[in-house]
Chain A
Amino acid sequence: MKKALIIIPNLLIMGFILFFIIRYANARAAENRQNEIAAFEKMTMTTNQIIANYLEDEQHLCDIWANYINRSAEAGSPMTAEEATSFIRQAKILPEIEGHLVFLDDPNREGISTAAKVSDPDDYTVSYRNINIFDNIESVGEEREAVSLTRAYTNPMDGVQSIAFLHPVSILDSEAGELRNALLLRVVPLSRLEQKLVFLKGGYENVEISLVDKEGNYVVHGKSFKNRNFFEYYKSYNASTAGQYDQVIKEITGGTGTMVIKNVKGEDCILSYTPLATMKIWFLLAYIPEKDLVGSRSVDWLLLGVVSLGFVILLVFNSIIMMKYNRKLSEAAQEANQANQAKSYFLSTMSHDIRTPMNAILGLNEMVLRDSRDDNIRMYSKGIKTAGNTLLSIINDILDFSKIEAGKMELINVDYSFGSVLNDLVNMVKKKAEDKGLSFNLDIDKNIPMILNGDEVRIKQVITNILSNAVKYTRQGGITLSASARRLEDQPDVIRLRICVADTGIGIKPEDLKRLFVAFERIEEKRNRNIEGTGLGMTIAQSFLAMMGSHLEVESEYGKGSVFSFEIDQKVIKWDPVGDYEEAFRRSLEEQVNYREKFTAPEAKVLVVDDAPVNLTVFVNLLRQTRIQIDTAESGDECMPLFMSRHYDVIFLDHMMPEKDGIEILKEMKAAAETPNAKTPIICLTANAVSGMREVYTNAGFDDYLTKPIDVERLEMMLLQYLPADKVAPASDGGDTVGHALPDFLYQLKEIDVSAGLTHCGNEEAYMQTLRVFLANAAGNAEEIERYGAAKDVRNTTIKVHALKSSSRVIGALKLGDFAERLEKAGDRGDLETLDRELGELVSRYRQLAADLEPLNAQSVSEEEDGRPLIAEEKLKEIYGALCESCENYDFDSVDQLVKDLEKYKIPENEAARVDDVRKAVDNYDYEVIPEILSGKV
């Protein structure tokens, strides 16, 4: 299991829980904040009441003074200003409180104070001329609130910031003798009010209580408030629109509430405001930084930290446990993978290792079938072919099944001829059925379109499996293959093809029907034990059909027979009807002959590379009748010089080879510069038929691939595809000169192994020439052996016997060669007795063989048939020179090669005898006489 699948959900859950905690903590904090603000607001209200009470008390004292003065006036004994101040002086207790009696109708707003000026102890005159606190005095007087007082101002008598409580009084103007309106001021230092505020802080350490008037001018203000006016202060430090600013003024002067404002440091602060009780012109502002009001949230963060740490520990613990289990799972998975790889390796190996020898078996067997004239051998060979094909079929079934299981089976849709598919099916099954005495019937809809598009191979395989089973499990009666098609309305270019195979076989019990498609299951194993098969056929068929969007339907009656059918949709490429297929097939049967090659291509050149010589032999022989020029190589190192020097039309390259494998060689070939084979198609030969190989080979750069054992028809089809058209000619009906190059009597000669001879000589033509040379020299050589034997010339006898050994083996006279070898060895050890005793028999058999080969003389190639080019005089002299030089250097291999080179040319008549002498000398290993033959010509 991937770590991410554990870690991510864990982190998500943790994140969610932390998110929840934070949200919850925030909600609680918000709630606490609201509670704190409510409590703060409550404190503000309490403070408001206390201040109001204080102000009322002060106002009350002012009123008492005024009432006493006014009652005196009402009683008809009004007080003069001096008497009134004297009264007040006596009535007041606190020295810092003063009483001012001011005549507002005086231009200088002068009056008398109860206390003298601090700067002049004799001066009691007070003037409010320059102190503007009476602008609204009329309205104050009319509305007469519970408290009438001034804003904070500077007491002109002592310069102390003060407030004054007001009450109008009637004073007797002693000079005029009449009553005069005056205003009595109870002047209280502002500090007294500030002291009250200091003690009203309650539980709030940093609260600042301020009083402002309607315009926002401070009466009293805390140290945090700047400016002379609170609203100006608000405007300076709080970004707000004109509307918001007006709204703030409206709220603060309109009632009780709380708002958040910024202070000079940009911090959020709580401002609780309320109009002072009993008067409308002053407002109380309680200010506190929000961080000082709202309780610390450290507990929340601690909780959060602990929870987070717990989560981390849990995650680490979970991860460790998960890693432990993952490791175990990983080990188990690794083991399973190894087992699976072992299985794949086994299948691959089995495929390769079985199919490789099968290539040799079936290929060589094909040669036997072609070449053998012995009926018994041909019968045995056919048996091998049948068994081999069965074995291949089983292997193929297993491989297909493994591909399907691995999910690597793929459908390859191609255009195909439906008639051709039927041909293949009938060819394959009809013979089997007839061999079992069963009738094979066809019921083919004439209107089935000719060319369809689909996976021809797999469709054929499905039908083959069904037909094979039908043949296997039918003992009497017959098998009927039906095919029909109908158009699909919604898909105008598609037909639905229905294939049906009906047999009169043993049938299947209803309870066994379910097991029919189970791999390796064989129904009624005991009863059918003699019927070969893997039990995979139906499973594979069903799987292929499923891949094609179809399924196999089975109707069966136990003991009477079965009907297997399926429908598949196939795209129509050509609507021409397939026609009366049964009739066409009958005709083709009549015309059918034994195997014949499809074409000849004598000008075509093919290189085949395989590390197994026998495979090379099979490959060469399979194509022998096509007359294609085939070069072989057993390794990459061997093939590269050929690849670089000679042009080929097609190259077949085996995949599995020691040292360099086919893919490595292919890379070398592709990388090679200045090669005549830059555009030559390269086809992979492989016995490896497991799934996925097609991709491997095409990706590696091969143009195509051919599986082993090599099917000659597929090989020929492939060559037809890749060989240049101008080099390919249709096979002639009777003019197979190559096929008749070896006369039939050769095959009857017990002394001759034609195959061995062909192998040694390379081709029929060379073989025939060698035979003729052997024949031409036989009489002379036999005579010489006898002569040297009779003369007891052991050395020359041995040399001659050695030559006989070699020449016999070259033509395939293997037993004669072995006989000569034995006498050669006897000669070498000086065993005269053996030589005397057996030399005669050797010479006798030698002559008998020559006699048997005598018919070859009648078949000499005529001058007219010799299409070889006439050798140039200079070329001939050059070869003569090279022959002499090679003989002198005892380089007999070069001598042999030079003679072979000579055979490529037509020799002028005047030199023909000399060249013939040279050839005979080479055949007889008389290399020393060659310089003599050529003397005077070099």
Chain B
Amino acid sequence: MKKRVTAFLSLSLAVLLLLPGCAGQKKTEGAFVPKYDKNTEFSLTVAGSYSNFESLEAEFERFYEYYPNASLQYVTMDDYNNVISSALVSSEPPDIFTTTSSMVGNDKYKDMFDACEVLSDPALEIDYSCIRSSLIRATDSGDILMLPIFTTSYGMLANMDIFEKEKLEIPKSFGELTEVCAKLKSAGYESPVMGANKFTGPGMFNCFAYPMFAYNVLKNSGQADSLNALEPSAGEYMRPALERLDKFVNSDCVDVEKCSEEIKDDYDSVIMRFFEGDVPMMLATGDVVSGTAKRESKSNAFSEHPFKYKFFTAPAGDDGGYFINSVSICFSVNKNSKNLDMTNEFMRFLISRKELGNMAGLKRLITPVDDFSLDEVYSALAEIPADRSFSDKQTGLKDSAVRQFRAAIYALGNGQMTVDEVIAGYGSLPEE
């Protein structure tokens, strides 16, 4: 069983080549044609940890157009990660449940994965070719047990109205960033770039430097293993990203102290501060962006002076930013579902460019499909060259290594340590 779990990691790249029709080319999709009698009466339950899943409920309504007698509901499970395995073997198991990449390789979820339907079974006719291949994981036997629904990334929100007003282009490289920031600063923007000074993933230093760090690891095979082993010497692999971060925090681009004072958390506060309308660039993750739509009406400043905004990669590299794409959640099917056929039918309906695009658009997360034009906020991501576009799992970095990197950039960003100090301290850097 252990073999099977670890195989997830090793096959995450190989699956790209195995997927039929997933060469990254957009395909035209036909309209969904129900397989079963449309009068079929059935109930399905989707279980997850999201307390609210309106975008999925919208899909329920769309599905009812084909199966009006269906009844689907989303159930928020308390203590999801601990309960889901039990729930799947209970008297009232969910038919579909959410899974995440972090569950892969964790023994705790062995039973859960054992209960998963093989979604790559051709008999199910689930066409997942629309999903970006780098996001799909398969078992060592090539089975696909989970399909991504939402993804996220690290980057920045840009206030397009400010750039238009100041007649500036969105910077694409670090050089352009410093030039643009100098102009913005002279135009009266105290901190042209802002973000949450937090240790977490959505923290501003992580959003700026992590994609560059991950890209370097991806391009240098062998680094990941040393980093994952927390070898002190592996700290040197962080140097390019750390030096770039050091330049960044010491430039006119960002006022770290101001960010600490004005942005108290890494989610709500980031959004509400951005909606004040005087921040040209706000470092954030896709998860943070997903909260913008609902908060537009809650911000008096934005309601009075709405502006156009978009998500871009942070321009940390000399040649441009790096689009590191992480899966937020996947859907898996309980192979013991009492309505397995109809559950798979719903998945067949849902896994399409249109429906996944709709869901991501409603949730305002990054769609897993190969078409960014479905949501204008993320439309700029389509311009990232394939060479600098990759999945976080392609790097092979483990959570422990990632956390050490975060500790390094947090200490460096806040001036607590120098570049050399944090490199030397790799493996034993204090984490929050």
Contacts and interface: CB of A to CB of B under 8 A. Distances in A.
Interface in A153-189: 153-161, 189
B52 A159 contact: no
Interface string A558-595: 00000000000000000000000000000000000000
Contacts of A236: 54
A106 to B, nearest CB: 16
Contact of B90 (A133, A160, A232, A265): A160
Interface string B213-253: 00000000000000000000000000000000000000000
B161 interface: no
A228 interface: yes
A156 B82 contact: yes
Given A130-B79, A223-B73, A226-B54, A117 B92 contact: no
B88 A159 contact: yes
Contact of B52 (A96, A119, A232): A232
B49 to A, nearest CB: 10
A96 B91 CA distance: 8
A851 interface: no
Given A158-B91, A159-B84, A160-B91, A227 B79 contact: no
Interface string A212-256: 000000000101001111001000100000000000000000000
A131 B77 CA distance: 9
Contact of A223 (B51, B72, B85): B72
Given A223-B73, A228-B76, A159 B87 contact: yes
A119 B86 contact: yes
B92 A161 contact: yes
A127 to B, nearest CB: 8
Contacts of A154: 77-80, 83, 87
Which of the listed residues A96, A132, A154, A161 has the most CB atoms from chain B within 10 Å of its own CB? A154
Nearest to A223: B71
Interface string B56-85: 011011000000000111011111101111
A118 B89 contact: yes
A897 interface: no
B52 A130 contact: no
Contact of A228 (B51, B82, B92): B51
Interface in A340-383: none
B111 interface: yes
Interface size of B as a range: 20 to 34
Contacts of A153: 78
A119 B115 CA distance: 12
Interface in B76-130: 76-80, 82-93, 111
A118 B86 contact: yes
Contact of B86 (A96, A129, A159, A226): A159
Contacts of A133: 78
A161 B75 contact: yes
B57 A156 contact: no
Contacts of A157: 86
Given A227-B52, A232-B52, A236-B54, A160 B92 contact: yes
Contacts of A96: 91
A854 to B, nearest CB: 129
B76 A156 contact: no
B90 A130 contact: no
B138 to A, nearest CB: 26
Given A130-B79, A154-B79, A223-B73, A228 B52 contact: yes
Contact of A131 (B71, B78, B85): B78
Contacts of B73: 221, 223
A571 B45 CA distance: 104
A117 B89 CA distance: 10
Contacts of B87: 154, 158-160
Contact of B78 (A117, A132, A191): A132
A870 B85 CA distance: 149
Nearest to B76: A228
A226 B92 contact: no
Which of the listed residues B73, B80, B83 has the most CB atoms from chain A within 10 Å of its own CB? B83
Contacts of B111: 119
Contacts of A329: none
Contacts of B88: 159
Nearest to B53: A228
B78 A158 contact: no
Contacts of B92: 160-161, 189, 191
Interface in A95-149: 96, 117-119, 129-133
A133 B57 CA distance: 25
Contact of B77 (A117, A159, A189): A159
Contacts of A223: 60, 71-73
Interface in B24-68: 51-52, 54, 57-58, 60-61
A119 B91 CA distance: 12
A264 interface: yes
A226 B57 contact: yes
A474 B90 CA distance: 137
A227 B54 contact: yes
Contacts of B91: 96, 158, 160, 189
A131 B79 contact: yes
Nearest to B85: A119
Interface string A806-821: 0000000000000000
Contacts of B79: 129-131, 154, 156
Contacts of A155: 90
A433 to B, nearest CB: 106
A130 B51 contact: no
B58 to A, nearest CB: 8
A657 B269 CA distance: 107
Interface string B393-431: 000000000000000000000000000000000000000
A264 B78 contact: no
Contacts of B93: 159
B57 A159 contact: no
A414 B399 CA distance: 118
B83 A159 contact: yes
A133 B87 CA distance: 19
Nearest to A265: B61
Contacts of B54: 226-227, 236
B130 to A, nearest CB: 26
A154 B92 CA distance: 11
Contacts of A226: 54, 57-58
Contacts of B83: 154, 156, 159
Nearest to B90: A158
B251 to A, nearest CB: 43
B142 to A, nearest CB: 28
A158 B77 CA distance: 11
B71 to A, nearest CB: 5
Contacts of A156: 78-79, 82-83, 86
Contacts of B57: 226-227
B119 to A, nearest CB: 22
Contacts of B85: 119, 159
Nearest to B111: A119
B31 to A, nearest CB: 21
Contacts of B61: 264-265
A655 B120 CA distance: 109
15 contacts: A118-B89, A119-B89, A131-B78, A154-B78, A154-B80, A154-B87, A156-B78, A158-B86, A160-B90, A189-B91, A223-B71, A226-B54, A227-B57, A236-B54, A265-B61
Interface of B: 51-52, 54, 57-58, 60-61, 71-73, 75-80, 82-93, 111
Given A158-B91, A159-B90, A160-B90, 13 more contacts: A118-B89, A118-B90, A119-B89, A154-B78, A156-B78, A156-B79, A156-B86, A158-B86, A191-B92, A223-B73, A228-B76, A264-B58, A265-B61
Interface of A: 96, 117-119, 129-133, 153-161, 189, 191, 221, 223, 226-229, 232, 236, 264-265
Nearest first, the 8 closest Cβ-Cβ pairs linking A and B are A159-B87, A130-B79, A158-B90, A159-B86, A154-B78, A226-B57, A131-B78, A159-B83
